[in-house]
Structure 1
């Protein structure tokens, strides 16, 4: 299974903010630290803010901060939210593709759905704070260019 780029970035942003509790980096800074386009990071930050995982303030003295909910967020829940509902494979056919001829009697779709849920279930008990435990937290601080890297 492959995660969407936005899912990967959401997790990395949450991890980055979890280790910089004493600083509030701007979205541009986080995007630069993660080596991703600002516009992509801004969309992800907006969704994280909507979910209550990140506090984002504009202007002087503003920046991004991880909320208490963000610290204890389940990695599985974050991944589910960013990946969205849907099957691993497109059996119905889209973008000029015909529906799968096995669609009415296929066992693969159910097996893949169960595997997908097992993947999420394995991530459910893990929190963002657990992801940044040593030695990861030190490495995250090393890639930060903001005040917390000092």
Structure 2
């Protein structure tokens, strides 16, 4: 299974905010650190705000920050929300796709089981597990921020 770029960026934004330890960051800062398109990251940030993981403050001293403690943000729940709109294979699309094997195929059921196992495994992980409980991550993210400010 491959995560969408949207999900990848959502996880990166959350990791940066967790490492910022309550300090605001801007979407532009995070985009620059990852050489990511600002407009795409802005859409990701909007989704995270709408989902309640992030708060956004407008204005000159505005920015984004976590709306919840890192321990309260479940990675599996988040990834399931973001990735449930994408079918692993054509026959799992809401319209059923056009695969001729669908009526008798056992693959779709096996893939559904595998996908659920993937999400279930991620439900054991919180944002804190990825960041604050990982001693090297805050330092690495801090270095990325420092490097981006020099450029």
TM-score normalized by the length of structure 2: 0.87
SS, match of residue 138 in structure 2: helix
Match of 1:125 in 2: 124
Match of 2:137 in 1: 136
Residue 71 of structure 1: how far off its partner (Å) = 4.7
Match of 2:102 in 1: 103
Contact 1:87 1:109 in 2 (8 A): no
Structure 1: runs of 5 or more not aligned: none
Residues 1-150 of structure 1: matches in 2 within 5 Å? 1-68=1-68, 71-91=71-91, 99-132=98-131, 133-145=134-146
SS, match of residue 65 in structure 1: strand
For the aligned residues, what is the CA RMSD? Answer: 2.4
Distance (whole Å) between structure 2 residues aligned to residue 136 and residue 21 of structure 1:
12
**TM superposition outliers: structure 1 runs of 4+ over 2 Å:** 84-87
SS, match of residue 140 in structure 2: helix
How many corresponding residue pairs?
145
TM-score normalized by the length of structure 1: 0.87
SS, match of residue 121 in structure 2: helix
Distance (whole Å) between structure 2 residues aligned to residue 5 and residue 135 of structure 1:
24
Contact 1:4 1:83 in 2 (8 A): yes
Contact 1:55 1:66 in 2 (8 A): yes
